[in-house]
Copies of this chain bind each other. A is one copy, B any other.
Amino acid sequence: MSDELSQPQLRQTFWTGDYYNEGSGKDGLFDKLKEECGVFGVYRHPDAASLSYYGLHALQHRGEESAGMCVSDGGEFHYHRGMGLVKEVFDKDIMASLVGDIAIGHVRYSTSGDSKLTNAQPLVFKYRDGDLAVATNGNIVNALQIRRELEQSGSIFQTTSDTEVVAHLIARSPKDLVEATKDAFNQIVGGFAFLVMTNDKLIAASDPHGLRPLTMGRLNGAYIFASETCALETIGAELIRDIEPGELLVLDKDGLREERFDHGKHRKALCAMEYIYFARPDSDLNGSNLHMARKRMGNQMAMECFIDADVVTGVPDSSISAAIGYAEQTGIPYELGMIKNKYTGRTFIQPSQELREQGVKMKLSAVRRVVEGKRVVMIDDSIVRGTTSRRIVNMLRDAGATEVHVCITSPPFKNPCFYGIDTPDRKELIASSKTIEEIRQEINADSLHFLSFEGLIEAVGGHNSSDPKGGLCLACFDNEYPTQVNFNGEEKFGCSC
């Protein structure tokens, strides 16, 4: 079943990328990992829709493809979803129609094959007990298996989203909403943060390993849920705590009930890439600020590997913090060795191959007078296919850098993610098939260094934990997945929320 784009004008758009993640794949200018989605929820605030708007705007970096929200006025749902950024999808008239004090919202990135409006969340359904809306961030590893079983017993599906599977499971259960939701979560395997809303209830839950972040705050008596704390800060809400692995919080007329849906104990395994790259630098994870954590990664990098160089520079925007940390620790001055054009986003025009070879650079350019004649330490967060790193190294050389030393503030990225991050096939991950020396040659660096597992765990504060992995999922580095990932011989990785 192919693509349905409801906004015809988008069809002409060549999505060249976006803020954190510009372009994709082999042909993109950047081969960064794609973010997976962000969720936001409000329980009992008279400005539920407005708060969701600002909250989703703060989470925009987690998904730029579509945005949506559903609001309950106690009796009825009002909702709107669309392709594009939050500020493009909602306008004043639409906001005015989103009346109510309970809301869930969603921003979404997905692989292009699923890029359709019908997949935009929150998904909204009518079921036995009224209205039901669902928004999620993550990936369900056994979604296809469950879907086949549901189809065999007569279910029909309108989306390709995992989230629809969960809605069916809830509706099929003879139990009440909370128990039905627990049953549903016990049938699915994966990494997910989930918000479920009915006309008068809000449920928030995290998978048994807490793979995807989900946090709770309060604002004037209302409860707020968000994928990252930056969304709480943006709306002036006070951070209460992160949702625990396997936890299921219920908000209804009786207030907050803290329950669990999982049986038995699972190790905590929060996605390390959230620390390294995805989450906004002003967000906190596990009580630790991301800018500070990344600066510590830079410090650690410096302690593991001192390079005799003239300037330190970071690949904007995600590696600036680490670069400053490296500079501080080594005493080598931090400089603005490259600059990113902030007017990015969707653009119709791309340089022709010819112009690209002449050096036309729309997104990132080196600052010639900063790097000319200098030995440069270039800090970046990860290497996926290697193409972006090579391009940046060469750009610095073209601008006159005499040496370019690349320091990556994470271990080599070798394995695909099954929990919501869109990674290429294993064979496209350069670190899964090449040695560090081979990668160094491929990216044309004078030297190449990766942060150690210990350094990473130390930087995120995980060394205080009894867990040798520091409470992190490090599967993309060490291939040790916290859940079963192969069902009926099929592996379903990426994100299909």
Contacts and interface: CB of A to CB of B under 8 A. Distances in A.
Contact of A369 (B80, B85, B92, B289): B289
B230 A365 contact: yes
Interface in A153-169: 154-158, 160, 167-168
A360 B85 CA distance: 19
Interface in A100-148: 117-118, 123-128, 131-132
Contacts of A365: 230, 233-234, 282
Contact of A128 (B19, B152, B167): B152
A324 interface: yes
B90 A348 contact: yes
Given A152-B128, A358-B219, A358-B220, A348 B117 contact: no
A4 interface: yes
Contact of A92 (B78, B282, B349): B349
B289 A370 contact: yes
Interface in A354-405: 354-355, 358-362, 365-370
A491 to B, nearest CB: 21
Contact of A57 (B6, B132, B230, B341): B341
Interface stretch (A260-268, A331-339, A411-419, A459-467): A331-339
Interface string A308-324: 00000000010011001
A427 interface: no
Contacts of A19: 342-343
Contacts of A253: none
A188 interface: no
Nearest to A289: B369
B1 A131 contact: yes
Contacts of A79: 1-2, 4
A240 interface: no
Given A117-B6, A282-B336, A236 B151 contact: no
A264 to B, nearest CB: 28
Contact of A54 (B89, B160, B354, B360): B360
A97 interface: yes
A296 interface: no
A437 to B, nearest CB: 31
Interface residues of A, number: 111
B158 A124 contact: yes
Interface string A278-291: 00111010001101
Interface stretch (A7-15, A207-215, A244-252, A439-447): A7-15
Contacts of A347: 87
A324 to B, nearest CB: 6
Interface string A31-59: 00000000000000001001101100110
Given A131-B1, A360-B54, A361-B234, A12 B91 contact: yes
Contacts of A61: 342-343
A303 interface: no
Contacts of A81: 4, 6
A90 B348 CA distance: 8
7 contacts: A5-B80, A51-B360, A118-B118, A123-B158, A132-B156, A156-B167, A324-B324
Given A126-B158, A127-B156, A236-B360, 4 more contacts: A6-B117, A95-B348, A282-B336, A289-B369
